[in-house]
Amino acid sequence: MERPLTVLRMSLYHPTQGSAVFATVPQRLQHDTSPLLVGRGLDAHLQLHLPRLSRQHLSLEPYREKGSALLAFNLKALSRRGCVWVNGLVLRFLEQVPLSTINRVAFAGIQMVVHVEGGTSLEAFVCCFHVSPSPLIYRPQAEETDEWEDIPKEPPAPGSEPPVPGHLGFLYGPSSTADSSPQPSIGGGTEIQLQREPADGALC
């Protein structure tokens, strides 16, 4: 009996109207256990058409946590010039972070939400793509997801000037176990606002 494949449901958005950025994105892509490359290059498994993108901009690497039967994923930044924003963290070249169940990712003006539905197959996984006509990542006050319903929403910490378009602040509850990298917390209360804004104030 075949084991169910892990599914990555990936929603994509870019502000340009009638965007050709996602012209070659299939509805469904099955991939083996090698890293999935995302970028502008022809050898990218998910090829996006944007001059700002690096040929290899980021990778999604499947692996297995010790003792787990499910595939897990690691997102690694591969762009030397650009960066990748993931769930409030800014990743620079070769930095990486494990993915949570729901992930907000931004790079080169592209917004991507990745929802991981774990399956027990260790041979392959599937990506299902959806191109969104509207932005995927909002200011925290406007954000509503199943994951964070029980977390009271606070305005951004004073002094943190959200750049446009779409502030990518992402509030983690104290119960969040997804992100283990040591980021400084801003503001008080039980909220941990994990943000590392790029130095020039621009989004990745």
Partner 1 sequence: MQAASPPPGGVVSQHTDLEGLVPLAGAAAAMSSFEDADTEETVTSLRVTIYHPGQMQNGIFQSIRFYNPEKLPSSEVVKFGRNSTICRYTFQDKQVSRVQFSLQLFKKFDSSVLSFEIKNMSRKTSLLVDSTELGYLNKVELPYRCMVRFGEYQLLVEKEDGESLEFFETLFIMSPRPLLQEHDWPAGKPTPEFCRSSLWCTQSTSLSASPREMDENEY
- Binding region for partner 1 (CB under 8 A): 33-35, 56, 61-66, 71, 76, 78, 80, 92-96, 122, 181-183
Least gap, CB of 93 to partner 1 (angstroms): 6
Least gap, CB of 96 to partner 1 (angstroms): 5
Task: Please identify, using beta-carbon distances, which residue of 134 and 177 lies nearer to partner 1.
Answer: 177
Task: Please identify, using beta-carbon distances, which residue of 33 and 160 lies nearer to partner 1.
Answer: 33
Task: Please identify, using beta-carbon distances, which residue of 181 and 190 lies nearer to partner 1.
Answer: 181
Least gap, CB of 190 to partner 1 (angstroms): 24
DSSP string, the chain: -PPPPEEEEEEEE-SSTT-STTTT--SEEEE-SSPEEEESSTT-SEE---TTS-SS-EEEEEE--TT-SS-EEEEEE--SS--EEETTEEE-TT-EEE--SEEEEEETTEEEEEEEE--S-SS-EEEEEEE-SS-S---GGG---STTTTSPP-PPPTT--PPSSS----EEPTT--S--S----BSSSS-EE-----TTS---
Least gap, CB of 179 to partner 1 (angstroms): 11
